[in-house]
Amino acid sequence: MLNDFVNQFWPATIDGLAFGSIYALIALGYTMVYGVLRLINFAHSEVFMIGTFGAMFVPFVLGINSALTGLALVGVIIAMILAGMLASAGTAIALERIAYRPLRKRGASRLAALISAIGASIFLQELFALLVIPEVFNRPQQGRIQMGLPRLMERTELFSIFGHSVRVDQVLVIVAAIGMMIALDALVNRTKIGRGIRATAQNPEAAVLMGVDINRIVRMTFFIGGGMAGVAGALYLISYENTNYYIGFLFGIKAFTAAVLGGIGNLRGALVGGVVLGLVENYGAIFFGSDWKHVISFTILVLVLMFRPTGILGESLQQARA
């Protein structure tokens, strides 16, 4: 068994980093919304799902069937990421407007908001299975069947670590995720909007008194979180080449686990939590088999929370740690 581990260590590490980056990007959305609203945005998983379909739309419209190279490839990948971001961010804003804001205005309990989110989540899944996939993607009667992406990018080996190859798409996922994190960090720490977000997270009433437009800040939070989930969706699609209407559920709970693991409300925590979760579940899969992957990650969550209830890096979006 130890032999297995040594043999599979590097492939598992690379896979874990790729998956972990995707978890981390989705976790950012959970953690930002939680930081500002103290709300588990349960429908965020569907925001990710819609991101994968937004990205899928680009090669579908362009009618791409074979692998691309050079500038065309770069162009298509950028277009896919943008389309994913747009679809996801739009969904997130619509969610905030329809499912959360009326509740917020009436001072409803967080439990009511959670049920509203679960309702929205069911609605969006069914909407895609029944209408969007059959009609927009022209697959009548196949709304519930997994949808594949034609291979866009030849999976060439970029370099190798101890004889185990690292593919282009894996590097793309990891690099793009790190790039987005840096951009987000700068946004939250350096810009006016970022300051507004931090102020609202810290004390909404004081923020209002200081002239912060709370509704705008909440909208921006959903927009940014949604955009990150869209990037995650596009990257997932490019690397794993399939998606379905149900894909959000597992990624959603994994990403939420990652957010909690890192310390919810803490942006860097989301990054750490995502990567740790991705690595641990892939290492664990070597020992116990990939069937047990999900069990391993939830067990880790319970263990971490027992011994460090605020997550690895501690909570709070407030303390400019973002």
Question: In the complex, which residues of this chain contact other proteins (CB under 8 A)?
Answer: 34, 36-40, 98-100, 102-116, 118-127, 129-130, 200-201, 204-205, 208, 214-215, 217-218, 249, 253, 256-257, 260, 264, 291-292, 294-295, 298-299, 301-302, 305-306, 309
The rounded distance, in Å, linking the Cα atoms of 72 and 58 is: 13
The rounded distance, in Å, linking the Cα atoms of 15 and 263 is: 23
String of b and e for 41-69 (b: at least 16 CB within 10 Å)? bbbbbbbbbbbbbbbbbbbbeeebeeebe
Residue 199 or 237: the one with the smaller Cβ distance to other proteins is 199
Residue 10 or 283: the one with the smaller Cβ distance to other proteins is 283
Query: Which residues on adjacent β-strands are paired with residue 165?
Result: 160
The rounded distance, in Å, linking the Cα atoms of 254 and 301 is: 10
Min separation Cβ 233 and other proteins, Å = 21
The rounded distance, in Å, linking the Cα atoms of 284 and 131 is: 39
Min separation Cβ 148 and other proteins, Å = 23
Residue owning tokens 């579940």: 281
- Please check whether residue 152 is in contact with residue 168, taking contact to mean a CB–CB distance below 8 angstroms: no
Exposed, middle or buried by CB within 10 Å (0-12, 13-18, 19+), for 205? exposed
The vertex-321 CA angle with 318 and 322, nearest 5°, equals: 80
Distance of CA 19 to the CA centre of its chain: 10
Min separation Cβ 183 and other proteins, Å = 24
The rounded distance, in Å, linking the Cα atoms of 223 and 43 is: 14
Residue 39 or 313: the one with the smaller Cβ distance to other proteins is 39
Residue 45 or 170: the one with the smaller Cβ distance to other proteins is 45
Min separation Cβ 281 and other proteins, Å = 12
Min separation Cβ 253 and other proteins, Å = 6
Residue 113 or 176: the one with the smaller Cβ distance to other proteins is 113
Residue 124 or 166: the one with the smaller Cβ distance to other proteins is 124
**Given CA atoms 194, 34, 243, 60 in this order, what sign does their dihedral have?**
negative
Min separation Cβ 3 and other proteins, Å = 23
Min separation Cβ 269 and other proteins, Å = 14
Residue 104 or 155: the one with the smaller Cβ distance to other proteins is 104
The rounded distance, in Å, linking the Cα atoms of 235 and 176 is: 8
Q: Which residues contact 268 (CB under 8 A, 6 or more apart)?
A: 185, 262, 313, 321, 322
Residue 72 or 130: the one with the smaller Cβ distance to other proteins is 130
Residue 43 or 174: the one with the smaller Cβ distance to other proteins is 43
Count the alpha carbons within 13 Å of 179 in the hemisphere toward its beta carbon.
10
Structure tokens at 85: 């971001």
Min separation Cβ 27 and other proteins, Å = 12
Q: For strand 164-167 and strand 157-161, is the pairing parallel, antiparallel, or unpaired?
A: antiparallel
Min separation Cβ 201 and other proteins, Å = 7
